[in-house]
Amino acid sequence: MTLEEVLSVIDGKLLSPGADLAMEVGMACGADLMSDVLAFTHEGTLLLTGLTNPQVVRTAEMSGIAAVVFVRGKVPPAETLSLAQSTGIPLLASRLTMYETCGRLFRAGLPSCGMFELSTNSWQQAFGDDSEADAEQVHPS
Amino acid sequence: MNANPGEVTRVQELVYELKIDQVMTRDVISVTPDTTLGDLKELLRTKRISGVPVVQEGALVGMISIENVILALERGELAAPVGSRMTTDVVSVRAEDTVVSAVNLFARYGYGRFPVLDGKGALVGILTKGDIVRGMLKRMEVEWQAEELERYRASHIFEDIESDETGLILRYRVKRQDFIRAGEAASKIKRALERLGAHPRIIRRVAVASYEAETNLVIHSVGGEIIAEIHPDRIKLVAVDSGPGIADVQQALQAGYSTAPDWIRELGFGAGMGLSNIKACSDSMKLESELGVGTRLELTIKLQ
Protein backbone atom coordinates (compact mmCIF):
# COMPACT_ATOMS: atom_id res chain seq x y z
CA MET A 1 0.00 0.00 0.00
CA THR A 2 1.38 3.44 -0.87
CA LEU A 3 1.45 6.31 1.62
CA GLU A 4 -1.05 8.08 -0.61
CA GLU A 5 -3.49 5.17 -0.17
CA VAL A 6 -2.80 5.11 3.57
CA LEU A 7 -3.72 8.79 3.81
CA SER A 8 -6.95 8.24 1.93
CA VAL A 9 -7.97 5.15 3.97
CA ILE A 10 -7.43 6.88 7.32
CA ASP A 11 -8.56 10.29 6.04
CA GLY A 12 -5.23 11.65 7.31
CA LYS A 13 -2.79 14.46 6.72
CA LEU A 14 0.84 14.49 5.66
CA LEU A 15 3.14 16.25 8.16
CA SER A 16 6.37 15.99 6.15
CA PRO A 17 6.30 18.36 3.19
CA GLY A 18 7.79 16.87 0.07
CA ALA A 19 7.59 13.26 1.25
CA ASP A 20 7.37 10.63 -1.48
CA LEU A 21 3.72 9.53 -1.32
CA ALA A 22 4.40 6.73 -3.79
CA MET A 23 6.50 4.99 -1.12
CA GLU A 24 5.24 1.45 -0.42
CA VAL A 25 4.60 0.05 3.05
CA GLY A 26 4.19 -3.71 3.27
CA MET A 27 2.81 -4.07 6.81
CA ALA A 28 1.89 -2.08 9.87
CA CYS A 29 2.36 -2.07 13.64
CA GLY A 30 0.33 -0.15 16.20
CA ALA A 31 2.20 0.51 19.45
CA ASP A 32 2.79 3.10 22.14
CA LEU A 33 5.62 1.11 23.62
CA MET A 34 8.85 1.76 21.74
CA SER A 35 10.49 -1.44 22.93
CA ASP A 36 7.61 -3.31 21.30
CA VAL A 37 8.27 -1.45 18.06
CA LEU A 38 11.93 -2.46 18.26
CA ALA A 39 11.03 -6.08 18.99
CA PHE A 40 7.97 -6.73 16.83
CA THR A 41 8.47 -5.02 13.47
CA HIS A 42 10.33 -5.60 10.23
CA GLU A 43 12.08 -3.35 7.72
CA GLY A 44 9.48 -1.38 5.72
CA THR A 45 6.77 -1.34 8.42
CA LEU A 46 4.28 1.51 8.85
CA LEU A 47 4.18 2.51 12.53
CA LEU A 48 0.98 3.81 14.14
CA THR A 49 1.51 5.41 17.53
CA GLY A 50 0.04 7.84 20.03
CA LEU A 51 3.47 8.96 21.23
CA THR A 52 4.95 12.07 19.66
CA ASN A 53 8.38 12.54 21.29
CA PRO A 54 11.58 12.47 19.17
CA GLN A 55 12.39 8.95 20.39
CA VAL A 56 9.56 7.70 18.17
CA VAL A 57 11.60 8.83 15.17
CA ARG A 58 14.82 7.37 16.66
CA THR A 59 13.02 4.08 17.20
CA ALA A 60 11.72 4.19 13.63
CA GLU A 61 15.22 4.89 12.33
CA MET A 62 16.76 2.01 14.30
CA SER A 63 14.14 -0.54 13.33
CA GLY A 64 13.82 0.45 9.68
CA ILE A 65 10.25 1.79 10.01
CA ALA A 66 9.22 3.25 6.63
CA ALA A 67 6.81 5.93 7.91
CA VAL A 68 5.00 6.95 11.10
CA VAL A 69 1.30 7.79 11.63
CA PHE A 70 0.40 9.74 14.79
CA VAL A 71 -3.10 8.72 15.90
CA ARG A 72 -5.81 10.44 18.00
CA GLY A 73 -5.25 13.81 16.34
CA LYS A 74 -1.87 14.26 18.02
CA VAL A 75 0.61 16.59 16.39
CA PRO A 76 4.29 16.05 17.20
CA PRO A 77 6.50 18.83 18.62
CA ALA A 78 9.10 20.64 16.49
CA GLU A 79 12.00 18.43 17.75
CA THR A 80 10.23 15.36 16.43
CA LEU A 81 9.51 16.98 13.08
CA SER A 82 13.10 18.13 12.64
CA LEU A 83 14.58 14.74 13.58
CA ALA A 84 12.22 13.14 11.05
CA GLN A 85 13.35 15.65 8.44
CA SER A 86 17.01 14.79 9.00
CA THR A 87 16.43 11.03 9.00
CA GLY A 88 14.09 11.21 6.00
CA ILE A 89 11.21 9.36 7.67
CA PRO A 90 7.79 10.65 6.51
CA LEU A 91 5.31 11.57 9.26
CA LEU A 92 1.51 11.31 8.87
CA ALA A 93 -1.37 12.27 11.15
CA SER A 94 -4.75 10.63 11.83
CA ARG A 95 -7.58 12.16 13.86
CA LEU A 96 -8.99 8.65 14.51
CA THR A 97 -8.25 6.45 17.53
CA MET A 98 -5.48 3.88 17.38
CA TYR A 99 -8.09 1.11 17.10
CA GLU A 100 -9.94 2.68 14.20
CA THR A 101 -6.80 3.78 12.33
CA CYS A 102 -5.41 0.23 12.58
CA GLY A 103 -8.79 -1.30 11.78
CA ARG A 104 -9.31 0.72 8.61
CA LEU A 105 -5.84 -0.10 7.30
CA PHE A 106 -6.19 -3.81 8.14
CA ARG A 107 -9.57 -3.94 6.40
CA ALA A 108 -8.03 -2.21 3.38
CA GLY A 109 -5.55 -5.08 3.14
CA LEU A 110 -2.44 -3.84 4.99
CA PRO A 111 -1.23 -6.88 7.00
CA SER A 112 0.42 -7.07 10.43
CA CYS A 113 4.08 -7.91 11.05
CA GLY A 114 3.19 -11.52 11.87
CA MET A 115 4.30 -13.61 14.85
CA PHE A 116 7.62 -13.31 16.67
CA GLU A 117 9.76 -15.70 18.68
CA LEU A 118 9.62 -13.43 21.75
CA SER A 119 5.83 -13.60 21.92
CA THR A 120 5.46 -17.29 21.06
CA ASN A 121 8.04 -18.11 23.73
CA SER A 122 6.15 -16.31 26.45
CA TRP A 123 2.88 -17.82 25.16
CA GLN A 124 4.33 -21.30 25.38
CA GLN A 125 5.64 -20.65 28.87
CA ALA A 126 2.14 -19.69 29.97
CA PHE A 127 -0.04 -22.12 27.99
CA GLY A 128 2.26 -24.95 26.97
CA ASP A 129 3.34 -26.10 23.57
CA ASP A 130 0.06 -26.47 21.67
CA SER A 131 0.81 -24.25 18.71
CA GLU A 132 2.56 -26.56 16.24
CA ALA A 133 0.47 -25.20 13.40
CA ASP A 134 1.50 -21.60 14.08
CA ALA A 135 5.17 -22.39 14.48
CA GLU A 136 5.87 -22.16 10.77
CA GLN A 137 4.76 -18.56 10.63
CA VAL A 138 7.11 -17.42 13.35
CA HIS A 139 9.70 -14.94 12.19
CA PRO A 140 13.14 -15.04 13.72
CA SER A 141 14.04 -11.75 15.35
CA MET B 1 14.80 9.35 -5.50
CA ASN B 2 12.43 10.36 -8.21
CA ALA B 3 13.59 13.04 -10.62
CA ASN B 4 10.96 15.74 -10.26
CA PRO B 5 10.79 18.35 -13.01
CA GLY B 6 11.53 21.06 -10.45
CA GLU B 7 14.44 19.22 -8.92
CA VAL B 8 17.91 20.60 -9.61
CA THR B 9 19.96 17.88 -11.23
CA ARG B 10 23.69 17.40 -10.85
CA VAL B 11 24.14 18.70 -14.40
CA GLN B 12 22.29 21.91 -13.57
CA GLU B 13 24.36 22.30 -10.42
CA LEU B 14 27.58 21.84 -12.39
CA VAL B 15 26.62 24.60 -14.81
CA TYR B 16 26.50 26.94 -11.81
CA GLU B 17 29.66 25.57 -10.18
CA LEU B 18 32.07 25.31 -13.09
CA LYS B 19 33.96 28.40 -14.20
CA ILE B 20 34.48 29.14 -17.88
CA ASP B 21 38.28 28.84 -17.58
CA GLN B 22 37.82 25.27 -16.34
CA VAL B 23 36.20 24.15 -19.58
CA MET B 24 37.44 26.55 -22.33
CA THR B 25 40.06 25.70 -24.96
CA ARG B 26 43.28 27.49 -24.06
CA ASP B 27 45.29 27.00 -27.24
CA VAL B 28 43.45 29.61 -29.25
CA ILE B 29 43.87 29.50 -33.01
CA SER B 30 43.61 33.11 -34.17
CA VAL B 31 44.27 35.21 -37.26
CA THR B 32 45.38 38.80 -37.76
CA PRO B 33 43.28 41.41 -39.64
CA ASP B 34 45.61 41.22 -42.68
CA THR B 35 45.22 37.43 -43.12
CA THR B 36 43.42 36.82 -46.43
CA LEU B 37 40.06 35.04 -46.49
CA GLY B 38 41.74 32.41 -48.69
CA ASP B 39 44.31 31.65 -45.99
CA LEU B 40 41.52 31.64 -43.40
CA LYS B 41 39.61 29.07 -45.50
CA GLU B 42 42.67 26.76 -45.44
CA LEU B 43 43.09 27.26 -41.68
CA LEU B 44 39.45 26.42 -40.93
CA ARG B 45 39.66 23.36 -43.22
CA THR B 46 42.90 21.93 -41.81
CA LYS B 47 42.09 22.65 -38.16
CA ARG B 48 38.47 21.48 -38.64
CA ILE B 49 37.04 24.55 -36.88
CA SER B 50 34.31 26.94 -37.96
CA GLY B 51 35.47 30.31 -36.67
CA VAL B 52 38.39 32.17 -35.04
CA PRO B 53 39.08 35.36 -33.13
CA VAL B 54 40.95 38.12 -34.91
CA VAL B 55 43.87 39.48 -32.88
CA GLN B 56 46.06 42.49 -33.45
CA GLU B 57 49.11 43.03 -31.22
CA GLY B 58 47.68 40.73 -28.58
CA ALA B 59 44.31 42.47 -28.45
CA LEU B 60 41.02 41.01 -29.65
CA VAL B 61 39.68 43.14 -32.51
CA GLY B 62 36.99 40.89 -34.07
CA MET B 63 35.56 37.44 -34.82
CA ILE B 64 35.38 35.75 -38.20
CA SER B 65 33.59 32.52 -39.10
CA ILE B 66 32.98 30.04 -41.91
CA GLU B 67 29.89 32.02 -43.05
CA ASN B 68 32.15 34.96 -43.99
CA VAL B 69 34.35 32.56 -45.98
CA ILE B 70 31.33 31.09 -47.84
CA LEU B 71 30.15 34.58 -48.73
CA ALA B 72 33.66 35.50 -49.96
CA LEU B 73 33.78 32.29 -52.05
CA GLU B 74 30.45 33.19 -53.71
CA ARG B 75 31.66 36.68 -54.52
CA GLY B 76 35.20 35.67 -55.47
CA GLU B 77 36.71 37.81 -52.74
CA LEU B 78 39.13 35.28 -51.21
CA ALA B 79 42.00 37.77 -51.57
CA ALA B 80 40.29 40.27 -49.26
CA PRO B 81 41.79 40.71 -45.78
CA VAL B 82 39.93 39.32 -42.75
CA GLY B 83 39.90 42.82 -41.25
CA SER B 84 37.49 44.05 -43.92
CA ARG B 85 34.89 41.26 -43.35
CA MET B 86 35.12 40.41 -39.64
CA THR B 87 32.50 41.13 -36.98
CA THR B 88 33.84 43.94 -34.83
CA ASP B 89 30.86 44.06 -32.48
CA VAL B 90 32.20 41.11 -30.47
CA VAL B 91 30.35 39.45 -27.60
CA SER B 92 32.91 37.94 -25.23
CA VAL B 93 32.79 36.09 -21.91
CA ARG B 94 35.03 36.39 -18.87
CA ALA B 95 37.25 33.52 -17.72
CA GLU B 96 36.13 33.79 -14.09
CA ASP B 97 32.40 33.71 -14.91
CA THR B 98 30.36 30.56 -14.39
CA VAL B 99 29.46 28.31 -17.30
CA VAL B 100 25.78 29.19 -16.86
CA SER B 101 26.40 32.76 -18.05
CA ALA B 102 27.85 31.41 -21.30
CA VAL B 103 24.96 28.94 -21.70
CA ASN B 104 22.59 31.91 -21.61
CA LEU B 105 24.67 33.81 -24.20
CA PHE B 106 24.70 30.80 -26.56
CA ALA B 107 20.92 30.71 -26.33
CA ARG B 108 20.52 34.45 -26.85
CA TYR B 109 22.92 35.06 -29.78
CA GLY B 110 23.05 31.69 -31.55
CA TYR B 111 26.84 32.10 -32.06
CA GLY B 112 29.02 29.01 -32.30
CA ARG B 113 31.81 30.32 -30.05
CA PHE B 114 32.73 33.11 -27.69
CA PRO B 115 36.19 34.53 -27.09
CA VAL B 116 37.21 34.34 -23.42
CA LEU B 117 38.93 37.36 -21.84
CA ASP B 118 40.74 37.63 -18.54
CA GLY B 119 40.23 40.43 -16.02
CA LYS B 120 42.55 42.73 -18.01
CA GLY B 121 40.72 42.15 -21.28
CA ALA B 122 43.40 39.90 -22.82
CA LEU B 123 42.28 36.91 -24.94
CA VAL B 124 42.94 33.73 -22.91
CA GLY B 125 40.71 31.14 -24.57
CA ILE B 126 37.79 30.23 -26.76
CA LEU B 127 34.55 28.62 -25.68
CA THR B 128 32.21 26.44 -27.78
CA LYS B 129 29.18 24.37 -26.71
CA GLY B 130 31.37 21.31 -27.24
CA ASP B 131 33.86 22.67 -24.66
CA ILE B 132 31.03 22.99 -22.12
CA VAL B 133 29.75 19.45 -22.70
CA ARG B 134 33.27 17.98 -22.53
CA GLY B 135 34.14 19.97 -19.41
CA MET B 136 31.00 18.85 -17.60
CA LEU B 137 31.39 15.20 -18.56
CA LYS B 138 35.00 15.24 -17.39
CA ARG B 139 34.05 16.79 -14.06
CA MET B 140 31.21 14.32 -13.53
CA GLU B 141 33.53 11.43 -14.29
CA VAL B 142 36.10 12.72 -11.79
CA GLU B 143 33.42 13.08 -9.11
CA TRP B 144 31.97 9.67 -9.86
CA GLN B 145 35.40 8.06 -9.58
CA ALA B 146 36.10 9.83 -6.29
CA GLU B 147 32.75 8.68 -4.92
CA GLU B 148 33.32 5.10 -6.06
CA LEU B 149 36.79 5.11 -4.56
CA GLU B 150 35.49 6.34 -1.22
CA ARG B 151 32.75 3.72 -1.20
CA TYR B 152 35.25 1.03 -2.10
CA ARG B 153 37.70 2.12 0.57
CA ALA B 154 35.04 2.08 3.31
CA SER B 155 33.74 -1.36 2.44
CA HIS B 156 37.20 -2.89 1.93
CA ILE B 157 38.88 -1.42 4.98
CA PHE B 158 39.36 -4.85 6.56
CA GLU B 159 41.01 -6.24 3.43
CA ASP B 160 43.22 -3.19 2.92
CA ILE B 161 44.69 -3.21 6.41
CA GLU B 162 46.84 -6.17 7.28
CA SER B 163 47.10 -7.49 10.80
CA ASP B 164 46.46 -10.73 12.63
CA GLU B 165 43.19 -9.31 13.79
CA THR B 166 41.80 -5.99 12.58
CA GLY B 167 39.04 -4.28 14.49
CA LEU B 168 37.40 -0.91 14.35
CA ILE B 169 36.45 0.58 17.71
CA LEU B 170 33.70 3.18 17.98
CA ARG B 171 33.29 4.69 21.44
CA TYR B 172 30.38 6.89 22.50
CA ARG B 173 29.86 8.56 25.86
CA VAL B 174 26.26 8.48 27.09
CA LYS B 175 24.96 10.98 29.65
CA ARG B 176 22.44 10.07 32.34
CA GLN B 177 18.83 11.15 31.80
CA ASP B 178 19.68 12.97 28.56
CA PHE B 179 16.65 11.43 26.95
CA ILE B 180 16.45 13.84 24.01
CA ARG B 181 19.84 12.67 22.76
CA ALA B 182 19.28 8.99 23.52
CA GLY B 183 19.83 7.04 20.34
CA GLU B 184 22.50 9.27 18.84
CA ALA B 185 25.20 6.68 19.46
CA ALA B 186 23.04 3.90 18.01
CA SER B 187 22.27 6.08 15.00
CA LYS B 188 25.99 6.69 14.40
CA ILE B 189 26.83 3.01 14.78
CA LYS B 190 24.09 2.19 12.29
CA ARG B 191 25.47 4.67 9.76
CA ALA B 192 29.02 3.37 10.21
CA LEU B 193 27.85 -0.17 9.45
CA GLU B 194 25.97 1.05 6.38
CA ARG B 195 29.16 2.68 5.15
CA LEU B 196 31.09 -0.50 5.79
CA GLY B 197 28.58 -2.35 3.64
CA ALA B 198 27.13 -4.71 6.29
CA HIS B 199 23.95 -6.66 5.48
CA PRO B 200 20.74 -4.67 6.23
CA ARG B 201 19.36 -7.40 8.50
CA ILE B 202 22.57 -7.42 10.56
CA ILE B 203 22.55 -3.61 10.69
CA ARG B 204 18.98 -3.66 12.04
CA ARG B 205 19.91 -6.12 14.81
CA VAL B 206 22.95 -4.08 15.84
CA ALA B 207 20.94 -0.83 15.69
CA VAL B 208 18.10 -2.17 17.84
CA ALA B 209 20.47 -3.76 20.39
CA SER B 210 22.65 -0.66 20.70
CA TYR B 211 19.61 1.63 20.95
CA GLU B 212 18.10 -0.46 23.76
CA ALA B 213 21.49 -0.55 25.52
CA GLU B 214 21.88 3.19 25.09
CA THR B 215 18.43 3.99 26.49
CA ASN B 216 19.22 1.69 29.43
CA LEU B 217 22.31 3.78 30.18
CA VAL B 218 20.29 7.00 29.89
CA ILE B 219 17.45 5.76 32.08
CA HIS B 220 19.19 3.69 34.73
CA SER B 221 22.86 4.59 35.01
CA VAL B 222 24.85 7.56 36.25
CA GLY B 223 26.28 7.69 32.74
CA GLY B 224 28.48 5.40 30.75
CA GLU B 225 29.81 4.36 27.39
CA ILE B 226 28.74 2.38 24.37
CA ILE B 227 31.64 0.71 22.64
CA ALA B 228 31.15 -1.00 19.30
CA GLU B 229 34.01 -3.23 18.14
CA ILE B 230 33.63 -4.08 14.50
CA HIS B 231 35.54 -7.12 13.29
CA PRO B 232 35.46 -8.74 9.85
CA ASP B 233 33.28 -11.58 11.16
CA ARG B 234 31.41 -10.11 14.15
CA ILE B 235 30.41 -7.03 16.05
CA LYS B 236 30.94 -6.81 19.77
CA LEU B 237 28.85 -4.23 21.62
CA VAL B 238 29.71 -3.22 25.15
CA ALA B 239 27.55 -0.94 27.31
CA VAL B 240 29.37 -0.08 30.49
CA ASP B 241 28.49 2.30 33.30
CA SER B 242 29.89 3.29 36.66
CA GLY B 243 26.78 2.76 38.71
CA PRO B 244 24.51 2.30 40.49
CA GLY B 245 24.56 -1.40 39.52
CA ILE B 246 21.79 -4.01 39.43
CA ALA B 247 20.76 -5.76 42.67
CA ASP B 248 19.46 -8.95 41.03
CA VAL B 249 20.76 -9.60 37.52
CA GLN B 250 18.53 -12.67 36.96
CA GLN B 251 15.45 -10.65 37.83
CA ALA B 252 16.53 -7.81 35.52
CA LEU B 253 16.78 -10.30 32.65
CA GLN B 254 13.13 -11.38 33.01
CA ALA B 255 10.87 -9.96 30.33
CA GLY B 256 8.55 -7.34 31.77
CA TYR B 257 10.60 -6.67 34.91
CA SER B 258 11.36 -2.97 35.16
CA THR B 259 12.51 -0.38 37.65
CA ALA B 260 12.01 2.54 35.27
CA PRO B 261 10.34 5.67 36.67
CA ASP B 262 6.95 6.83 35.41
CA TRP B 263 8.29 9.68 33.30
CA ILE B 264 10.27 7.18 31.25
CA ARG B 265 7.21 4.94 30.84
CA GLU B 266 5.23 7.90 29.58
CA LEU B 267 7.84 8.32 26.85
CA GLY B 268 7.22 4.77 25.64
CA PHE B 269 10.18 3.08 27.33
CA GLY B 270 10.91 1.23 30.54
CA ALA B 271 8.52 -1.69 30.05
CA GLY B 272 11.15 -4.22 30.98
CA MET B 273 11.56 -5.45 27.43
CA GLY B 274 14.99 -3.95 26.69
CA LEU B 275 17.24 -6.77 27.82
CA SER B 276 15.11 -9.54 26.30
CA ASN B 277 15.00 -7.54 23.11
CA ILE B 278 18.80 -7.16 23.12
CA LYS B 279 19.14 -10.88 23.75
CA ALA B 280 16.86 -11.67 20.81
CA CYS B 281 19.06 -9.56 18.53
CA SER B 282 22.35 -11.07 19.74
CA ASP B 283 24.17 -14.30 19.08
CA SER B 284 25.49 -14.18 22.64
CA MET B 285 24.94 -11.80 25.54
CA LYS B 286 26.48 -11.41 28.98
CA LEU B 287 25.31 -9.12 31.77
CA GLU B 288 27.48 -8.50 34.82
CA SER B 289 26.73 -6.05 37.58
CA GLU B 290 27.76 -5.13 41.07
CA LEU B 291 25.76 -2.80 43.29
CA GLY B 292 27.61 0.44 43.90
CA VAL B 293 30.21 -0.39 41.25
CA GLY B 294 28.51 -0.59 37.86
CA THR B 295 27.12 -2.73 35.09
CA ARG B 296 28.67 -4.22 31.99
CA LEU B 297 26.58 -5.60 29.16
CA GLU B 298 28.46 -7.38 26.40
CA LEU B 299 26.95 -8.90 23.32
CA THR B 300 28.12 -10.31 20.03
CA ILE B 301 26.38 -10.32 16.68
CA LYS B 302 27.92 -12.44 13.94
CA LEU B 303 28.29 -10.80 10.57
CA GLN B 304 27.83 -13.95 8.50
Interface contact flag, B182 A62, Cβ < 8 Å: no
CATH of the domain at B43: 3.10.580.10
Quick one: B238 and B125 in the same domain? no
- Kind of pairing between the strands at A13-14 and A91-93: antiparallel
Are residues B33 and B94 both part of a single domain? Answer: yes
Orientation of helix B274-281 relative to helix B200-220, angle to 10° = 150
Q: Is the domain of B175 the same as that of B291?
A: yes
DSSP, residue by residue, B199-257: -HHHHHHHHHHHHHHHHHHHHHSS-EEEEEEE-SSEEEEEEEE-S---S-HHHHHSTT-
Whether B4 maps to a domain, the answer reads: no
B81-97 burial code (b ≥16 CB/10 A, e <16): bbbebbeeebebbbbee
Identify whether residues B125 and B233 lie together within a single domain.
no
Contacts of B255 in chain A (CB under 8 A): 118, 122
Taking phi first (over 0 means left), then psi (-120 to 50 degrees means alpha), and beta for anything else, what does residue B11 get? alpha
- If asked whether residues B193 and B286 sit together in one domain, one would say yes
B159 and B106 together in one domain: no
In a domain? residue B9: no
Of chain B, the end-to-end C-alpha distance in Å amounts to: 30
pLDDT at A131 over 80: no
Tell me what the mean pLDDT of segment B275-304 comes to: 94
Q: Count of CB contacts below 8 A, A vs B? A: 81
pLDDT for A3 equals 97
- The pLDDT tens digits of the residues spanning B126-168 come to 999 999 999 988 888 888 887 777 777 777 777 778 888 888 9
Asked if residue B145 belongs to a domain, the reply is: no
pLDDT tier, B1 (very low <50, low <70, confident <90, very high otherwise): very low
Q: Among B102, B135, B168, which residue terminates a domain? A: B135
Q: Choose among B180, B201, B276: nearest Cβ to A54.
A: B180
Is residue B282, in this structure, part of any structural domain at all? yes
Q: A117 CB near a chain B CB, below 8 Å?
A: yes
Interchain proximity B267–A51, CB inside 8 Å: yes
Residue B12 lies in a domain: no
- Domain residues for the domain of B277 are 153-302
Domain count, chain B: 2
Q: What is the DSSP string of A18-87?
A: T--TT-B--EEEE-S-HHHHHHS--TTEEEEES--SHHHHHHHHHHT--EEEE-TT----HHHHHHHHHH
* The pLDDT value given to residue A139: 57
ipTM of the complex: 0.83
Q: Is the pLDDT of residue A40 over 80?
A: yes
- % chain B with pLDDT above 90: 62
**Residue B12 or B249, more confident:** B249
pLDDT of residue A81: 96
User: Within this chain, do residues B172 and B105 fall inside the same structural domain, yes or no?
Assistant: no
Q: B230 and B109, same structural domain?
A: no
Q: Which residues does chain B have within 8 Å of residue A141's beta carbon, measured at their own beta carbons?
A: 205, 280-281
Answer yes or no: do A35 and B207 touch at CB < 8 A. Answer: no
What is the C-alpha separation between A69 and B298, in angstroms, rounded?
Answer: 34
How far, CA to CA in Å, does B90 sit from each of A90, B87, B111, B117?
A: 54, 7, 11, 12
pLDDT tens-digit series, residues B111-122: 889 999 998 888
Q: Which of A49, A51, A63 sits opposite B208 (nearest CB)?
A: A63
**pLDDT attached to residue B8:** 56
Q: What is the DSSP letter of B84?
A: G
Looking up residue B294, the CATH number of its domain turns out to be: 3.30.565.10
| Contact present, B158 and B166 (Cβ < 8 Å) | yes
* Residue at which a domain ends, from B104, B135, B166: B135
Nearest Cα of chain A lies from the Cα of B270 at a distance, in angstroms, of 8
* pLDDT, mean over chain B: 89
With CB atoms and an 8 Å threshold, state whether B273 touches A55: no
Model pTM?
0.66
Residue B141 in any domain: the answer is: no
Q: Are residues B55 and B129 in the same domain?
A: yes
Q: Is residue B11 part of a domain?
A: no
What chain A holds in terms of domains, given with CATH numbers, is 3-112 (3.40.1390.20)
**B5 found inside a domain:** no
CB-CB: which of B187, B208, B255 is closest to A38? Answer: B208
